[in-house]
Amino acid sequence: MIEPRKVGLIGDPVEHSVSPAMHNAAFQALRLPYVFEKVRVTEEDLPKFFQKMRGENWLGVNVTIPHKEVVRKFMDRMDDAATKMGSINTVQNKDGTLIGTNTDGAGFLQSLQSDAHWTPNAKRAAVLGAGGSARAISYTLCQEKIAHITIINRTFDKANAVATMIRNNFGKEMVSVTSPTSEGAKDALQKADLIVNCTSIGMHPKTNELPITPGIHFKPGQLVTDIIFNPQVTALLTQAKKDGAQAFGGIGMLVYQGALSFELFTGQKPPVDVMRKAARAELQNN
């Protein structure tokens, strides 16, 4: 019997991922001979994993926390956007050549358009976090002609590195940086049309935690999004709704970034509705 080719998710942790359910449902719907596995890989084990991946039956992998930036050094090639944004969530294995790309920003944008009918052009954004997903989302918002982004992050150096990436690619007036507890953060959150939580604060199991200082409130006309999808409604989204802002969570981005990666892995049009249904069902079971 021919072994099915493998697609996977690497990260640490990966236990609660819904990607296997989402991709395996899509493989079955299109009768593709592939199987999606999640693999916990620590940072020390990354060299060994990629060495093995080149020689084995792998079509590709998605990359999740905390490896989206560090995996760049194992790629043979990266596409232009992934190179500029400095973050990878998809690795294709083409006959032993590893190619890095990033579907997070495009997935987020599709979710903004379909879940909220929202376009970034000439608006202001506050991005909470400065990790791999914050890089991809900030880059994509700038490409879509957002007027200004404030990066709000605990570790100032990381926030500054994201700001440098934006300045180098889109101009120095586009971005400012502040810490979550500063007056600058309060001001930026009040002035923003779009607030995006790209930190892992509020993610299962610490679902009561907020990525903003308690006492800060939102207002009608603002759109608050949390890219966390477990839980589907985070403490941040609950507060935003209470304050009268529009709010939605990370499941749309999860499905669209997954669908874009699926197309890169398989060369087939993804069955997006099948993937959404499988992701929702898996989250109910989690």
Residues that bind ligand NAP (CB under 6 A): 65-66, 68, 104, 107, 129-134, 153-155, 158, 198-201, 203, 227-229, 250, 253-254, 257
Q: Least distance to ligand NAP from the beta carbon of 115, Å?
A: 12
The residue whose two tokens read 């021919």 is: 2
Q: Least distance to ligand NAP from the beta carbon of 283, Å?
A: 11
Two tokens, residue 196: 């995006």
Is there a catalytic annotation at residue 68?
A: yes
- The residue (of 66 and 184) whose beta carbon lies closer to ligand NAP is 66
- The residue (of 5 and 227) whose beta carbon lies closer to ligand NAP is 227
- The residue (of 80 and 157) whose beta carbon lies closer to ligand NAP is 157
Q: Least distance to ligand NAP from the beta carbon of 88, Å?
A: 11
- The residue (of 131 and 271) whose beta carbon lies closer to ligand NAP is 131
Q: Least distance to ligand NAP from the beta carbon of 273, Å?
A: 17
Choose the catalytic residue: 38, 48, 52, 68.
68
Q: Which residues are catalytic?
A: 68
